[in-house]
Amino acid sequence: MPFVPVGVLLRDAEEQGYAVGAFNCNNMELVQAIVAAAEAERSPVILQASQGAIKYAGLAYLVAMARAAARGVRVPVALHLDHGTSFEQAVRCVAAGFSSVMIDGSHLPLEENIALTRRVVEVARAAGVSVEGELGRIMGAEDEIKVEEREAFFTDPAEARYFVERTGVDSLAVSVGTAHGRYQGEPRLDFERLSRIKELVRVPLVLHGASGVPEEAIREAVRRGVRKINIDTEIREAFVGALRRELGAHPQEIDPRKILGPAREAAVEVIRAKMRLFGCAGKARV
Ligand SMILES: [Zn+2]
């Protein structure tokens, strides 16, 4: 199947009250793990690559791998740019075949964020590609984007409505208490704020930094209207954890496949569990 725009997947999620998992990838094993998990769970899925991932793997490789993976399965697959920060990067991804892009202007003053996001929406819409915007600043580190605690702030609901109306984005990433990377202590989500945003904003909401958030908090976020949930850190932990175990158990092994294969399997298991938690398992229309 060709890539499906994220907007299409999220419309179905909105109708049926679940969230679609968006999983970060930067190599062949992770692309395979994500799509294999989706096929096993009969789940729609979003493969996402950050600018750092594109720098590492190369844009052409990422698109080709994702395309090969999507062709081999019957579930809907989207390819999404995670945290694009420039208009040029977004355009390159649209031209390369991504079905969705995020433009993260959250570090900019509101009107500049709106202006940048609108430019991306205009180009993407013409190509049938969906756009995710971000308002509010999510704490932590996502590849090359680092936000200190003192710089982070939550999304203002009224501003969120204004932002969505002015930009025409298909979905909105909100800052309601999650963080990128690993948590120190237990994250506390501001559910009241999430519900208020949901009341005022008509597009699906996106939760970033969801690795390490307790299951019950994820369920509550989905009940309150989150329709796309990003997972990166927990996949990395599973993948690299398995690599460490294999290397430790077989110090003489020199076949990369013997080390990377079990890491890929470990990633599949984490991703499948997330799909069941988010409610997207079993929701693929095939
Ligand atoms: Zn993020």
pLDDT in tens, 223-261: 999 999 999 999 999 999 999 999 999 999 999 999 999
Q: What is the mean pLDDT of the chain?
A: 95
pLDDT at 149 exceeding the cut of 80: no
Largest CA distance in the chain: 59
68 in any annotated domain:
yes
What's the rounded mean pLDDT across residues 52-75? 97
283 in any annotated domain:
no
172 Cα to the center of ligand 1, angstroms: 12
What's the rounded mean pLDDT across residues 151-180? 94
112 Cα to the center of ligand 1, angstroms: 20
285 in any annotated domain:
no
Q: Per this entry, what is the length of the chain?
A: 286
**86-111 core/surface letters (b: 16 or more CB in 10 A; e: else):** eeebbbbbbeebbbbbbbbbbeeeee
With CA atoms as reference, report the closest residue to 144 among 58, 55, 207: 55
Structural domain boundaries, residue 270: 6-278
209 Cα to the center of ligand 1, angstroms: 6
Query: pLDDT tens digits, residue range 67-106?
Result: 999 999 999 999 999 999 999 999 999 999 999 999 999 9
203: confidence class by pLDDT, cuts 50, 70, 90 = very high
Q: Token pair for residue 32?
A: 């395979």
188 Cα to the center of ligand 1, angstroms: 17
89 Cα to the center of ligand 1, angstroms: 16
Query: Regarding beta strands 130-135 and 139-142, do their DSSP bridges make them parallel or antiparallel, or are they unpaired?
Result: unpaired
128 in any annotated domain:
yes
pLDDT > 70: percent of the chain: 98
- Count the domains in the chain: 1
192 in any annotated domain:
yes
With CA atoms as reference, report the closest residue to 200 among 116, 152, 135: 135
53 in any annotated domain:
yes
266 Cα to the center of ligand 1, angstroms: 22
Query: Regarding beta strands 20-24 and 226-231, do their DSSP bridges make them parallel or antiparallel, or are they unpaired?
Result: parallel
103 in any annotated domain:
yes
CATH number of residue 232's parent domain: 3.20.20.70
With CA atoms as reference, report the closest residue to 63 among 80, 85, 88, 44: 80
φ, ψ for residue 222, nearest 5 deg: -70, -40
pTM: 0.95
234 Cα to the center of ligand 1, angstroms: 13
The question of whether 82 is a catalytic residue gets the answer yes
* Given 12, 82, 143, 232, the catalytic residue: 82
